[in-house]
Amino acid sequence: MEGLKQFICKSCGQPLVRDGSNYVCNYCGSIWVADLADDIHAVQRANAWEALRVGDFEKSAELFEEIIYKDAKGIDHESHWGKALADNAICYIVDLNERKRVPTCNNITESSFLSSKEVQKAISLAPAEIAESYKKQAEYIEKVRLEWLEKARKEQPYDVFISYKESYVDENGNKQRTQDSHDAQEIYTALLESGYKVFFSRYSLQGKPAEQYEPYIYNAIKTAKVMIVFGEKPEHFSATWVKNEWSRFRARIEKGEKHKNSLVVVVKDMEESDLPVALKSRQALNMSNITFLGTLKNHIKRVVDESKQGVRLDKIEIKGGQRAKKATTLEVNTIKTREIGSGATVKIDITEKATLSLVSTYMKAMAWEEATKLIDDILFNNPSCTEALWKQLLIKYGATDNTSFTLKIPLISSTDFQVIDQILSRANQEIATEILDLLYSSYTTVNDERYSTVLKLILPYQYKNRQAKIDNAFIYSIENSANKTFELLLTSIDANDVDSYIDYNIKYLKKSKSSAEKAECIDRILKVDEGNVNALQMLLYSQLENNEQSKKVINTFETLLKYSNNGQAEIGKILNWLKRNIDSADDCLLARQILRYSSEDISVYKDTLIALSSTMISCGFFEDAQYFS
C-alpha cells in the first residue's frame, strides 16, 4: 500500500491501524499486508477493490481475474479473496447494533461461499493470521447466504420483474425520484391489471431494510418468467444495481433456466443504439410507440405460456445405440510369468527324504530343537535342498505344518519373503505347487496390505492351479473391497483379454463404498471402452451424489445417451433419482435440462414429474414446482 491508501481498508473503506507488519481494520476485521513497492499489480488491485466497494462487481471480478492470470508465482491470495467477493457481489455495510462493517450478499448463490474455489485458494495461500481472517469472514458470509436463501424460498413467485433506476442525488445532495420510476410505474400498474404478479422495487421492497433487500430480489429474479429492464438514459442501464439485476437474469437465460426471449428491453426518449453492448442483441420496445403496451403484453403472455408448457428449452436430439471403439489390448503392466520347476536341479537322496519325514514328526510335536538340528544337518550337506529350506522357514515361525504357517504370514519379514522366492524358483513342481496353493489361500488370515505383498511374490509363477487361484483372489478382493489386492490382480490379466479386465472392474465398482476407488474403476473402464454403459451410468450417479457441477453431469449424461440403447429409460431413471434427492435450485435446473433430451412427449413421465413438483414445493422451489406440475 502506498501513500494514503495504506490507511484505508480495501474491502470496507474504513481507516486501518498498524499491527506489527500488518494493517488491521477494526470495523470489518480484515487484515492486510502492505503492498510492496515493486508489486506490479498494486495499482490494478487497488482499482479492483475500488470497483468492489462502489458495487461494480463485474468490473472488479474482471480486474482480479486478470491479476490472478498474470500472477506467475501463483501466490496472490489477496486477489483470490477479492475475486471471491466480487463473484458473489459482496459489499460491506454498517451493522447498527455493533457499529461495525459486516459483509452482505448482493447475489445469493446456491453454492457454498466457504467451499468456493477462490475462497479456498485464498485461505491456502495466505499467511496464518490473514487466512484466519478470511475464514472468519467467509463463515459469516456463508451464514448470511444460508439465512437469506431460506428467507427467499418462503417468498411466492413472480411473473414479471421490472428493473429500473429508482432515484438519483441532485446538485444539493438530496435524493430525488427519477422520471424512469414514474414511467415504469405505469407499466407496473398495467401489468397488475392484466393479472400478473409483478416485482416493482418501489412497492415490492416497501417496509424492508435496504441492507436486507437481496433475499427478495433473489427470489424475484429466480422466479420471474420475464424481466423488463427500463430506462430513459443510456447511463441508467449501466447503473450499478440495475446492471446487477439484468446481468443476473441474463446469466440464467444463458444457462437455459429462462426462456430465451424473457429479457425485454424498454426505452423511452433515447436511441436503442446507445444501449450497453450486452443489451443491444435483446428485443427492445419503445414506450413512446402507441402500440407499446399491447405489444409488451402479447410478448409477456407468449413467454409465460411457453414457459408453463415446458417448451422453454429447445429439444436436444442425441442418436443412441452408437458403438464405441473398444481397445483390443490393455495398456497395463501385465505381469510376465515363469514356469515353476524350471530351476529344480538339486535332488535329494533316500536318507534326506527319511530325515525330512522325521523333521515333520518333530514339528508336529513342537520339538523345535530336534527338528532344527536335523534341518541344519541336511542343509550342511545339501545347501540348495528346497524342501529343507521351506521347513526351516516354518520352524523359524513356529509353524507345525503348512496349514498353521498361513497364520504366521502376517509376521513374515521382507527378508524371508525373498527366501520364499528363492525356494519357489528352485523347487520342483510338486513342492512349488504346494507352497503356491498355500500362499494364494492366505487371504483368509491376512489383511489387504499383507495379501498384496504375498501376491507380488507369487503372481509371476505360472502353474496349473494359477488361474483358479487368481479367480478366487479376485472374488476375495471384490467382496472385501480390498483395493490394493484388486489393483495388483488386474496386472495378471492377459493384455488381450480386455473383456475380463472390464468385467472385473465393473464387479468391484458395484461392491466398493469408496468414492475414490469407484472413480478409479470407472476411469479404467472408460479408458478401454468409452461407450461402456454400465460405467457411464455409475459415473453419472456418482457425480449426482457428490453434487458435481450440472455441466459435468450433463456431459456424462449426453455420453450415456449416445451409447445407450434406451435413452428414454435413462431419462426416466435420472428424473426418478432427482425426485428423491432434490435439495437445491441447481437440481431443479438439471431436471429441466434432462427433459430436453426426451424424444417423446414429456407426458410419459407424468407421475414422476408430479412427484418432482411435490418435492420442489416441500423445498420451497415454488416456481420450479409450477414448471413440472
Q: What does the block give as the cell for 427?
A: 523347487
Q: Kindly state whether residue 466 falls inside one of the protein's structural domains.
A: yes
d(CA 199, CA 160): 6
Indicate if 499 and 538 belong to the same structural domain.
Answer: no
HSE of 510 in the Cβ direction (CA atoms, 13 Å)? 8
pLDDT at 436: 93
Q: Kindly state whether residue 543 falls inside one of the protein's structural domains.
A: yes
597 and 316 in contact (C-beta within 8 Å)?
A: yes
Q: Kindly state whether residue 320 falls inside one of the protein's structural domains.
A: no
Does the structure show a pLDDT above 50 at 3? no
- Residue 620 pLDDT class (50, 70, 90 cuts): confident
Does the structure show a pLDDT above 80 at 627? no
3-state secondary structure of 338: strand
pLDDT at 309: 59
pLDDT tens, 563-594?
999 989 999 999 999 988 887 777 888 888 88
Would residue 298 be called left, alpha or beta, if left means φ above 0 and alpha means ψ between -120 and 50 degrees?
alpha
Q: Helix 350-364 and helix 368-381: axis angle, to 10°?
A: 160
Range(s) of the domain holding residue 395: 326-522
pLDDT at 394: 93
Indicate if 226 and 357 belong to the same structural domain.
Answer: no
d(CA 41, CA 51): 15
pLDDT tens, 288-314?
999 999 999 999 998 888 776 554 445
Indicate if 473 and 346 belong to the same structural domain.
Answer: yes
563 and 547 in contact (C-beta within 8 Å)?
A: no
Residue 135: how many other CB atoms lie within 10 Å: 16
Q: Kindly state whether residue 319 falls inside one of the protein's structural domains.
A: no
HSE of 532 in the Cβ direction (CA atoms, 13 Å)? 23
- Residue 1 pLDDT class (50, 70, 90 cuts): very low
pLDDT tens, 313-355?
456 788 888 888 888 888 766 778 888 876 655 677 888 889 9
pLDDT tens, 86-115?
988 888 877 655 568 888 777 777 778 888
Classify burial at 611, counting beta carbons within 10 Å of its beta carbon; exposed 0-12, middle 13-18, buried 19 or more.
middle
Which residue carries 422495487 as its cell? 201
Residue 74: how many other CB atoms lie within 10 Å: 10
Q: What does the block give as the cell for 19?
A: 499491527
Spatial CB neighbours of 344, under 8 Å, sequence gap ≥ 6: 386, 426, 427, 428, 429
Rounded to the nearest 10 degrees, how much is the dihedral formed by the CA atoms of 623, 625, 627, 629?
Answer: -140
436 and 469 in contact (C-beta within 8 Å)?
A: yes
pLDDT at 369: 93
What single letter denotes the amino acid at residue 354? A
Indicate if 345 and 392 belong to the same structural domain.
Answer: yes
Indicate if 82 and 168 belong to the same structural domain.
Answer: no
Indicate if 116 and 72 belong to the same structural domain.
Answer: yes
pLDDT at 71: 81
Q: Kindly state whether residue 321 falls inside one of the protein's structural domains.
A: no
pLDDT at 312: 44
3-state secondary structure of 77: helix
Answer with the one of 250, 276, 309 that is the final residue of a domain. Answer: 309
Indicate if 361 and 268 belong to the same structural domain.
Answer: no
Q: What does the block give as the cell for 58?
A: 463485474
Average pLDDT of the chain? 86
242 and 229 in contact (C-beta within 8 Å)?
A: yes
pLDDT tens, 427-460?
888 889 999 999 999 988 889 999 999 999 999 9
What pairs with residue 49 in β-bridges? none
- Residue 367 pLDDT class (50, 70, 90 cuts): very high
Give the helix/strand (H/E) hosting 168: strand 167-169
d(CA 537, CA 586): 20
- What CATH number is associated with residue 540? 1.25.40
If you compute the radius of gyration of the chain from its CA atoms, what whole number of angstroms results?
36
- Residue 549 pLDDT class (50, 70, 90 cuts): confident
3-state secondary structure of 530: coil
Q: What does the block give as the cell for 575?
A: 428424473
154 and 620 in contact (C-beta within 8 Å)?
A: yes
Indicate if 536 and 476 belong to the same structural domain.
Answer: no
Indicate if 42 and 132 belong to the same structural domain.
Answer: yes
Q: Kindly state whether residue 153 falls inside one of the protein's structural domains.
A: no
d(CA 622, CA 156): 7
pLDDT at 5: 44
Using H for helix, E for strand and C for coil, what is the string for 568-596?
A: HHHHHHHHHHHHHHCCCHHHHHHHHHHHC
Q: Kindly state whether residue 318 falls inside one of the protein's structural domains.
A: no
Indicate if 304 and 330 belong to the same structural domain.
Answer: no
Indicate if 273 and 372 belong to the same structural domain.
Answer: no
Tell me the helices (H) and strands (E) count for the chain, helix number first. 29, 14
d(CA 103, CA 168): 25
d(CA 340, CA 88): 67
- Counting residues of the chain whose pLDDT is more than 90, the rounded percentage is 41
Q: What does the block give as the cell for 62?
A: 474482471
Give the helix/strand (H/E) hosting 284: strand 283-286
pLDDT tens, 158-207?
999 999 999 988 888 888 999 999 999 999 999 999 999 999 999 998 88
Answer with the one of 522, 546, 579 that is the final residue of a domain. Answer: 522
Report field, pTM of the whole predicted structure over 0.75? no
Give alpha helix (H) positions in 366-497. 368-381, 386-396, 402-405, 414-426, 429-440, 448-458, 466-479, 483-490
pLDDT tens, 5-30?
457 899 888 888 888 888 899 888 89
Q: Looking only at Cα atoms, what is the longest distance across the chain?
A: 121
Q: How far is CA 522 from CA 47, 309, 507, 536, in A?
A: 46, 38, 11, 8
Which residue carries 424460498 as its cell? 153
Length of the chain, in residues: 629
| Residue 45 φ then ψ, to 5° | -65, -40
Please give the residue that has the higher pLDDT: either 126 or 106: 126
Spatial CB neighbours of 66, under 8 Å, sequence gap ≥ 6: 44
Answer with the one of 106, 122, 148 that is the final residue of a domain. Answer: 148
What pairs with residue 176 in β-bridges? 168
What pairs with residue 359 in β-bridges? none
Q: Kindly state whether residue 481 falls inside one of the protein's structural domains.
A: yes
d(CA 573, CA 284): 42
Indicate if 371 and 433 belong to the same structural domain.
Answer: yes
- What CATH number is associated with residue 272? 3.40.50.450
d(CA 49, CA 498): 56
Look at the chain and report how many structural domains it folds into: 4
pLDDT at 344: 58
